[in-house]
Structure 1
């Protein structure tokens, strides 16, 4: 299997995994739900790199919102999760000698900020969306735990080597 076919196949698999992990367990919160999908978002970036991770995480997460009845969140989710994956994948590629934990927190922080900014636009309030910040951060923290546990066992599936 050539590299392009492998990358396309892995991207489709990571989209599906992100959709399933986001949809599988849902814990309701005031404006949405908490899920395990952020683990798949970060795993997408780990396996595919920044651009492949952005596509797989963005489409997979946005699809979960679409099929889960949260259509208003499709665009915010695509941007937030895609950016989260891109930042994590980019920082890993740019600084291959660092521990991946250094890159997880900026990626989660970006996701939380993107959701907050979109919700300001959606709800017309600066104060109301503050309620979701701790929930989005908690969801990101769950993703950090998942990728921390899974990144070593899944290292052989990486398509982008640590050293450029």
Structure 2
């Protein structure tokens, strides 16, 4: 299998994995839900790199919002999860000698910030979205735990750092 075919195949598989992990286990909240899909978001960036991770995580997560009845969150989710994957993948590529945890926390902070700003715009106030900040951070921490557990067994599937 050539590199381009492998990239497309892995992107589609990780997009589907992100969708399933986001849709399968849902802990409902008044304005959304918590799920283990952030593990798949970070895993997408780990395997595909920044750009492939952005595509797989963004589309997979936004699709889960659409089919889950949260279509108003599709664009914020695409931006939040895509930027989370991009930041994680970029930092991992830029500083390969560092531990994964160094890269995961800035990615989760960016995801939480994007959701906060999006909800401020959607709801028209600052107080309401502040309630969701801890839940977004908790969801990101669950993703960090999952990628920490899964990255070693799945290391052999990582693509060579090439332009996507």
- Bin the TM-score by the shorter chain: over 0.9
Report what 1:78 is aligned to: 78
Alignment partner of 1:135 is 2:129: no
How is 1:94-109 mapped onto 2 (pairs within 5 angstroms)?
94-109=94-109
Determine helix, strand or coil for the equivalent of 1:139: helix
Report what 1:47 is aligned to: 47
Report what 1:119 is aligned to: 119
Structure 1 residue 141 displacement after superposition: 0.4
Report what 2:88 is aligned to: 88
**C-alpha RMSD of matched pairs (Å):** 0.6
Report what 2:150 is aligned to: 150
| Gaps in structure 2 of 5+ consecutive residues | none
How is 1:16-55 mapped onto 2 (pairs within 5 angstroms)?
16-55=16-55
Structure 1 residue 30 displacement after superposition: 1.8
- For 1:56 and 1:160, locate their aligned partners in 2 and report how far apart those are by CA, in whole Å: 17
Alignment partner of 1:60 is 2:60: yes
- For 1:157 and 1:44, locate their aligned partners in 2 and report how far apart those are by CA, in whole Å: 11
| Per-residue CA distance 1:9-67 (angstroms, 9 max, x = gap) | 00000000000000000001121000010000000000000000000000000000000
| Gaps in structure 1 of 5+ consecutive residues | none
TM score, norm. by length of structure 2: 0.97
TM score, norm. by length of structure 1: 0.97
Count of aligned pairs = 161
Report what 1:5 is aligned to: 5
